[in-house]
Amino acid sequence: MASPKGNPLRSQLEAHQPLYGGWCTLPTSFAAELVGNSGVDYSVVDMQHGLTGYSDLVSMLQAVSLSGAVPLVRIPFGDYGIAQRALDAGAMGLIFPMVNSVSLAEAAVRSCRYPPLGERSYGPIRSRLHLDIDTEWVNSQILCLVQIETREAMTHLDGILAVPGIDGVYVGPADLALSHGMPPGKLSTDLDILLSRIVEACRAGSRIPAIHCVSGTDAQAKVALGYRMCSIGSDSVWLSSGYAQQVALAREQVSEVAGGLY
């Protein structure tokens, strides 16, 4: 009997190797395919701030899967119906934004775990092709990452991380900075203190610390802080900045566009 298919990120994380990810905001499978083929370990389809609707999602997940990267989805805030549909469509993990409390962390777990761990209903229409249909096995493979990105979330950090079924956190540094009176997208010692606090809490609770980064250099710095999953910019960021740099070069000018978060 063949072994059930698994989530490659699980074994990579168990080996304690840093993982680097792509971020898809453009609602097209070709952009997702390009991101997936860039050498990333995983690729996130952003349904919170990205332009992707559910009608675009399935083909984008297919494109990511064919590229060899692991497909993840960030759902819109509080949309637990989309959470279950994204998993049924083949996402191997979900990122839940704006998780500021223990109750929101518990709601995230309920929507992405089958009973008895959660309340996900059974309908693995496409996911059966990639993670089998055994509910206990699927529960062990799906990644559940909750976003820590506000003062309130920092206040409840330890309690959020203690919720059974949470695999780790995904830091939104822009909102984390904004909520603490700092400009988004800027590096600072004060922000690094917050980021280090999150890593320490994850280590204490045996959770995965993940974060969004502005560049490959920034990702290296975040790995040095202890982060184990680092997403690098986004498709729209690199399309915009890369094209602007080449046009500036053609005009013998210096481009001021150098990347960004989303």
- Residue 261 CA to residue 252 CA, distance in Å, equals 27
CA 133-52-126 angle, to 5 degrees, is 15
> Domains (ranges, CATH) in the chain?
8-250 (3.20.20.60)
- 106-118: b (≥16 Cβ within 10 Å) or e: bbbbbbbbbeebb
Q: Of 247, 253, 201, nearest to 227 (Cα)?
A: 201
Residue 23 β-bridge partners: 44
pLDDT for the residue 75:
98
Question: Could you give the maximum distance between any two Cα atoms of the chain, in Å?
Answer: 63
C-alpha to C-alpha distance for 218 and 223, rounded to whole angstroms: 9
Q: Which residue of the set 16, 49, 156, 180 is catalytic?
A: 49
pLDDT at 115: 97
pLDDT > 60? residue 216: yes
Question: According to the model, what pLDDT value does residue 55 have?
Answer: 92
Residue 3: per-residue pLDDT: 64
The pTM for the full model equals 0.95
Mean pLDDT on 67-79: 97
Residue 1 has pLDDT above 60, yes or no: no
Note if 49 is an active site residue: yes
Tell me the pLDDT tens digit for each residue of 5-26: 899 999 999 998 899 999 999 9
**pLDDT score for 60:** 98
Distance in angstroms (rounded) separating the CA atoms of residues 170 and 208:
8
Instruction: Report the distance separating Cα 218 and Cα 31, nearest Å.
Output: 23
Rg value, the chain, Cα: 18
Distance CA 200, CA 194 (A): 10
According to the model, what pLDDT value does residue 112 have? 96
pLDDT (tens digit per residue) in 142-172: 999 999 999 999 999 999 999 999 999 999 9
pLDDT of 50: 95
Q: Which residues pair with 168 in a beta bridge?
A: 145, 208
Residues 202-214 have a mean pLDDT of 97
Detail the DSSP E strand segments found in the chain.
19-24, 42-46, 70-74, 93-96, 143-148, 168-171, 208-213, 229-232
DSSP 123-143: --TTTHHHH-S-HHHHHHH-E
Contacts for 168 with CB less than 8 Å, ≥ 6 apart: 143, 145, 146, 202, 207, 208, 209, 210, 228, 229
